[in-house]
Amino acid sequence: MSTLAIIGFILMAVLMYVLIKEKMAPPLAFILLPLIAAMTAGFNLEEISGFISTGMKTMLSTAILFIFSISYFTMMSDAGLFDPIINFLIKKAGKSTVTIFIAILLTTFVAHLDGSGATTFLIVVPAFLPFCKKMGIRPQALLAAMCGGYGVMNLVPWGGPTMRSASVSGMDVGELYNFILPGVACLVLLAFIIAIVVAFIEKKNGASMQTTKTSVDFQEKQETGGKKKGIYYFNLLLTMVMLVFLFCDIGLPLYSIFMAAFAIGLMVNFPKAKEQNKKIKEYGTNAMVMTMTLFSVGIFMGVIKDSGMVEAMATAIVTILPASIAPHMHWFMALFSVPLLMILGTDAFYYALLPIIMGVVEPFGVSPQSVAAAFLLTATFGTPISPSVAATYVGLGLADVSIGEHIKYSLRLLWPGSIVVLILATLIGVIPF
């Protein structure tokens, strides 16, 4: 194993520890730890500067999207846009936590049709978070339930993982999706099971109790937040138009749509410049912490990718495994696909590790599409909880949840779920052992 791979593994282990145990604020961890790792690996200041520059560029559009999306939905929440939706859901769901989480899951399925994780979080979290607070449901649970649906829809033919795997395996993306479709059905089943399990966890934690402070705050907001009907319907129309633009590829960056919608909404809801400046400062403060986290993740990604750490770790993972499991390596690697994707990131997982495994098992008669199926069907649950996936931080910011809290809550459900999918897909013949 190379020195670079060892440093990479130590970096990821320390990073996961400090995030999950909350020993260090995420921005500090994502800045300091990779810089220490890069210097330990012997890279000079000029090289490290190049790593940072590349990583920051990759996060710029996501950070802008995050700032204006958070600001927009906070403004609309203040204006009471979601109150009728919440009241309707309360009447229909009552105190049934299972019904609530099934509704969250179904909405995630629809919202993620475009294959964009950021869009999914932007639609689902603002719609359900106030309702969850009303019912005493933790925001971590909302994100965990979403992860199941996110994992299913992330495999659509136009989704990133499927397109990456198709390009590596040399298959048509539609052909690959049809090949894994029985496994996707297993994922759908697991997504519903995860949502139901989360519902019972939250019920045990006191969900549906109407005596929480959040519940009182919500009631007070309902009684005191009266906006004119005309402004309400304008906000509703503006949001619907914005969502249509988000779903339809109109050739504009997502962040530009939110920037325009925020500017229009702020001008209509707060006509005076003094009010506008006050709200901009207020909303900007809310978004600042997660924006800092996003840019610090850019430093982390730049260092581990451009330094060659990711490739070194991927190669090391293969070389340290016993030769006796070589014919079944795709299957055994799939057992650990969730933590592996969290460590390597989506690009390295599919572009670096996947072709290596394909090369190892091909002499034993295992087809490239079978290896791609094993990786796709199991690793998809790891994407929405990976510290290296930018869209994850959009959801975290909207829900006001730390990455450590998110991983701690969701990993215990998603990793076992991916193993169950692997077993089911093996039994039905999609993934050969």
- ∠ CA 408-110-174, rounded to 5°: 95
Is residue 95 within 8 Å of 53, Cβ to Cβ? no
Q: Is 189 left (phi over 0), alpha (psi -120 to 50) or beta?
A: alpha
Residues 6+ away with beta carbon under 8 Å from 427:
none
Q: Return the number of other C-beta atoms located less than 10 Å from residue 243's C-beta.
A: 16
Span between the terminal Cα atoms of the chain, in Å: 27
What is the C-alpha to C-alpha distance for residues 110 and 88, in angstroms, rounded to an integer? 19
Q: How confident is the model at residue 90 (pLDDT cuts 50, 70, 90)?
A: low
pLDDT score, position 411: 93
Is residue 39 within 8 Å of 344, Cβ to Cβ? no
Q: Return the number of other C-beta atoms located less than 10 Å from residue 359's C-beta.
A: 12
- ∠ CA 10-288-266, rounded to 5°: 150
Q: Is the pLDDT of residue 26 over 70?
A: yes
Is residue 311 within 8 Å of 346, Cβ to Cβ? no
Is residue 76 within 8 Å of 82, Cβ to Cβ? yes
Closest CA relative to residue 417, chosen from 192, 201, 106: 192
pLDDT score, position 145: 93
What is the C-alpha to C-alpha distance for residues 293 and 66, in angstroms, rounded to an integer? 11
pLDDT score, position 359: 78
Rg (CA), the chain: 22
Q: How confident is the model at residue 424 (pLDDT cuts 50, 70, 90)?
A: very high
Q: What is the pLDDT of residues 119-173, one digit of tens each?
A: 788 878 888 888 888 888 899 999 999 999 998 988 887 777 887 788 777 777 7
Mean pLDDT value across the chain: 82
Report the residue count for the chain: 433
Q: What is the pLDDT of residues 378-412, one digit of tens each?
A: 999 998 998 878 788 888 888 889 888 999 999 99
Q: Is the pLDDT of residue 331 over 50?
A: yes
Overall average pLDDT of the 177-203 stretch:
92
Overall average pLDDT of the 21-40 stretch:
87
pLDDT score, position 96: 78
Closest CA relative to residue 387, chosen from 32, 6, 9, 19: 19
